[in-house]
Copies of this chain bind each other. A is one copy, B any other.
Amino acid sequence: MTRNIQVSELDRRAVEDQQVEIVERKGLGHPDSICDGIAEDVSRALSQLYLDRVGKVLHYNTDETQLAAGRAAPAYGGGEVIEPIYILIVGRATKSYEQDGRTVELPVDSTALAAARAYLEEQIPELEYGTDVVVDVRLGEGSGDLQDVFGEEEVQVPMANDTSYGVGHAPLTETETIVREIERGINGKYAAEHPEVGPDVKVMGKREGDRIDVTVAVAMIDAYIADLEAYKAAVSNVQEYATELARSYTDREVNVEVNTADDYDAGSVYLTVTGTSAEQGDDGSVGRGNRANGLITPNRPMSMEATSGKNPVNHIGKIYNLLSTAAAEDVVEQVDGIRDLQMRLLSQIGRPIDEPHVADAQIVTEADVDVADIEAEVTEIVDGNLANVTGITREAIEGEISTF
């Protein structure tokens, strides 16, 4: 088998060299990200359930979760949720399976709810499950044709049954890196030491030439903020942290602003009870936020496909988005001289998904490198990634790869 891998020059400037660049990341606690996260963890839990009970992943698709915002009354020192957030998990799943002459009943609804609860308790800990947020589930039976392609013992590469498209990029630009790392940093190390910082962190980066403006919106948690002065200090601390972090990734001019919509005179600040704007007025759903690489990058081609929640065994849209990103990163890590790489995968109906219609690596090289010089190397790495397509499935099931 020879895969159709094409390596060519990309017919545009590297994004890093374009005049205007816009990058956004919706943090873990953003209503859209909450939906992505729940959908993906429900998917993982179902995969695991099927593997545990029948030894192979059965048909399911849970890439729809709808969040309707609640109502809250935040207050310095601690307010309260008044109307709960409502989250509806929607999708299809196989609920019973004939095996060895008996019918195995599969608790897909309970499993989905348990996964959602675990996710919320981990990621939005101030949100009390069952009172601050009500989660319900509507998982219909699938179309009946079981997809038993990914088992514990034998692993088959599934066939593409749709024309689907995935796209990935590497390396990240400075602005992309900064946007991603600021969100990760605030929601990681920083939050660990600053309990007033909620998980709903939204970061927008805009670069014009060599000036990078970063706007950060952080939902502050009222229980840890005594008054307006404390709030101002909290904002200021985030500003300092984010600025320092950003500067560690670039020599360009960086300007960071935090919670710019605040109006201190009017007493209007970004204070929340639970650390997410979902508590008051912001609805959310799956596939509306970050792409598979964790960013929204209008300067780059993006797939509309929602990656979170889809079955990682046979949903080619999910697999190709994750795989193209992983392949692009692999190439850039192992091959010198690449300034911008865009990796596209296009499926071929009726062929195994590791044999795409075309795998298309388009490259902007460093000034002193020619695409022809690295073509063979790139081809080999992409080929290796395709050969290991089921590795993506396994990583998705194990939760070792993020989808948003």
Contacts and interface: CB of A to CB of B under 8 A. Distances in A.
Interface of A: 8, 11-13, 18-20, 22, 61, 63-64, 66, 68-71, 73, 80-84, 86, 88, 90-92, 95, 105-110, 113-114, 117, 129-132, 134-138, 140-143, 161-163, 165, 167, 204, 206, 208, 215, 260-261, 280-281, 283-289, 291, 296, 298-304, 306, 344, 346, 349, 358, 360
Contact of A113 (B71, B109, B134, B162): B134
A301 B304 contact: no
Given A73-B105, A138-B68, A304-B288, A143 B281 contact: yes
B131 A134 contact: no
Contact of A140 (B132, B281, B344): B281
A48 to B, nearest CB: 15
Given A86-B136, A113-B84, A130-B117, A301 B303 contact: no
A141 B140 CA distance: 14
A95 B280 CA distance: 16
Contacts of A105: 73, 82
Contacts of A301: 298-301
A82 B109 contact: yes
Given A11-B13, A138-B86, A299-B301, A129 B130 contact: yes
B64 A84 contact: no
Contact of A80 (B18, B110, B129, B215): B110
Contacts of A80: 107, 110
B140 A130 contact: no
B134 A135 contact: yes
A346 B20 contact: yes
Contacts of A136: 86, 134, 136
A113 to B, nearest CB: 4
B68 A82 contact: no
B66 A82 contact: no
A162 to B, nearest CB: 8
Contacts of A161: 261
A308 B144 CA distance: 33
Given A22-B346, A287-B288, A300-B301, A140 B82 contact: no
A92 B278 CA distance: 12
A173 to B, nearest CB: 15
A68 B137 CA distance: 10
A69 B303 CA distance: 24
Nearest to A282: B92
A401 to B, nearest CB: 21
Contact of A88 (B66, B70, B84, B109): B66
